[in-house]
Chains A and B, each alone.
Chain A
């Protein structure tokens, strides 16, 4: 399928991404499999293997995975206009919902009953995040590799004890990861020739 931008294709792209975004709770890890079902199985716009590549790129790039996947998919189906249409379709549902929530937030929050409900939910969401962290940290520790374990412990101590912008932690860890990867590559090459 070549990059074309006929109106009915873009409309279908918009309604599909809008629908997926409006009814998907739980972020990128949930929406990407649903996109696969819609665009690979139902519409047959792209092939299975291409969807896998697309998912890998969406997950390696920064930013929301759902938005990244939509950009790639839209571009693939209908060029730059398709990318724009897919972004709008993906962003509009949360944009509209949160705009409404934002308008009523102050009024809601000052209501004693709602405030008590939200206060209780604060403990709940803290527990949800704690549980997510336990799972993620368990995954890192299960690799039984020294460097990821050190990075995790080091980054946690730094964010806990130092008043430093998190962007620096992210940049330093990315550079350490890149250097380690090149070092491993050089080492493997050396061992291969001996």
Chain B
């Protein structure tokens, strides 16, 4: 049952994530955090961080990680297979359509409508991550946010915008500075 759920969840993630990069993130959040509660938002943020530092698409990383956490190696296989299967079917279909008609109004129109939507959905997932970093699991509450997280976020954002460094370096920098600050303040992060 769990294997089937894993397969089906990641099948949907593979089927509806258009555009590569972070496009899968809002779908992973919807399935894994909100629908099945397999991970918390903080764990999904950890997973995104790990994905940035390891090779491979975030959707494949997520399916392996979640499958493994929920149901061991076979779960990882079920989730990853589910994630890849829609690609196999649709890529073959599209290749056939392209060969026959070259330029297809419907596909181009769909992508034209999808691109701005994907940006909005990634923004939504990113916002949830930020709120989790600032106020902990559950997101925004009317209280002053974690000051270390707030300063780290603003500093990292400014550094990224001004100097366009490698994002992995920015994350590692935020991690090391954050670690020093949290340990000095005696905060419990576990």
Show the binding face of A for B, using Cβ within 8 Å: 21-25, 27-29, 53, 56-68, 71-72, 75, 83, 87, 91, 93-95, 97-99, 101-103, 105, 109-113, 115-134, 136-137, 140, 147-149, 151-156, 159-160, 165-167, 169-170, 173-182, 185
Contact = CB atoms under 8 A, between A and B. Distances in A.
B176 A120 contact: yes
A152 B114 contact: no
B129 interface: yes
A149 B105 CA distance: 20
B87 interface: yes
Contacts of B181: 120
Contacts of B178: 116-117, 119-121, 123-124
Contacts of B176: 117, 120
A175 B58 CA distance: 26
Q: Chain A interface mostly helix, strand, loop or mixed? A: helix
Contacts of B52: 25, 125, 128
Interface of B: 12, 14-22, 24-27, 30, 42, 45-46, 48-50, 52-61, 64-65, 68-69, 73, 76, 80, 83-84, 86-88, 90-92, 94-95, 98, 105-127, 129-130, 132-133, 148-150, 152-154, 156-157, 160-161, 167-168, 170-179, 181-183, 187-190
B95 A72 contact: yes
Contacts of B117: 151-152, 155, 169-170, 173
A128 B171 CA distance: 8
A119 B109 contact: no
Given A94-B64, A120-B182, A129-B22, A87 B190 contact: no
Nearest to A156: B120
B8 to A, nearest CB: 13
Contacts of A181: 105-106, 108-110, 112
B114 A123 contact: no
B49 A132 contact: no
A29 B22 CA distance: 11
A95 B59 CA distance: 11
Contacts of A97: 54-56
B38 to A, nearest CB: 12
A53 B160 CA distance: 33
A118 B113 CA distance: 36
A57 B84 contact: no
Contacts of A117: 175-176, 178-179
12 contacts: A21-B55, A57-B98, A75-B95, A113-B179, A117-B179, A124-B178, A136-B119, A137-B123, A140-B119, A174-B110, A177-B109, A180-B109
B110 A178 contact: yes
Contacts of A103: 68
